[in-house]
Amino acid sequence: MQSITDILNILLKSIFVGFGFIIPILTLLRISDLKTLQVKDLLILTAVQTVRISGIIYFILAAVAVYPLLMHDNTMAGNVKVDFGGFAMYILFSPIMTLVITQLFWIKRLYMKKGSRITLSFMLLLLPSAVFLAIAKSQDFMPALKATLSGPEILKTLISCIIFIFITFTIILMGGKLKDKKA
């Protein structure tokens, strides 16, 4: 059974993956209808605000989970002593990179320009991934790449995009920003 922390991590990762795929598509989408353009801009702005806060929450959850492992020199797992010092990069790299990239969206010049918004979206998608870590550690990255391109991972990515859209539209509806201004 999943704990609350695991469910929150899954939702937050879905937000990051969905943001990495959906926002570049929305940014490059050309729309001539004024109402549709306003909804698209509102969706992008709400998604940016969601990712900013989600990055902070994701880092806090990761730090709380990792704290007991890194504060002791070695941890007893059953009768086996485990040294987590060598794995600090693997444990902390993804949350730290996610935090740094999401906090760059506080800079208005970065999230308002199309090019930088697309670049940051792809960075949020790629830098915290296992493939990037394998390449950074100069390991054989083909197993990680094959696992990323497998059927279940593609389905997981598609579901993450759907979850991202639902969460973003829920936030828009809760804020009441889609109401007709004439009424």
Any domain includes 171: yes
pLDDT > 90 in the chain, percent: 45
Any domain includes 32: yes
Q: What is the DSSP letter of 30?
A: -
Q: Does 183 score more than 50 pLDDT?
A: no
Could you report the per-residue pLDDT of 53-100, keeping only the tens digit for each? Answer: 999 999 999 888 877 766 665 555 555 555 665 666 677 888 999 999
Has this prediction a pTM greater than 0.75?
yes
Backbone torsions φ then ψ of 72, nearest 5 degrees: -110, 145
Q: Which of 166, 95, 125 is nearest to 21 (CA)?
A: 125
Any domain includes 97: yes
Any domain includes 144: no
Any domain includes 148: no
Could you report the per-residue pLDDT of 124-152, keeping only the tens digit for each? Answer: 988 887 777 777 776 676 776 777 778 88
Do 18 and 161 touch, CB atoms closer than 8 A? yes
Owning domain of residue 88: 4-126+161-175
Any domain includes 139: no
H or E element at residue 79:
none
Taking residue 171's Cβ as centre, other Cβ atoms within 10 Å add up to: 15
Any domain includes 11: yes
Domain count, the chain: 1
pLDDT of residue 83: 60
Any domain includes 100: yes
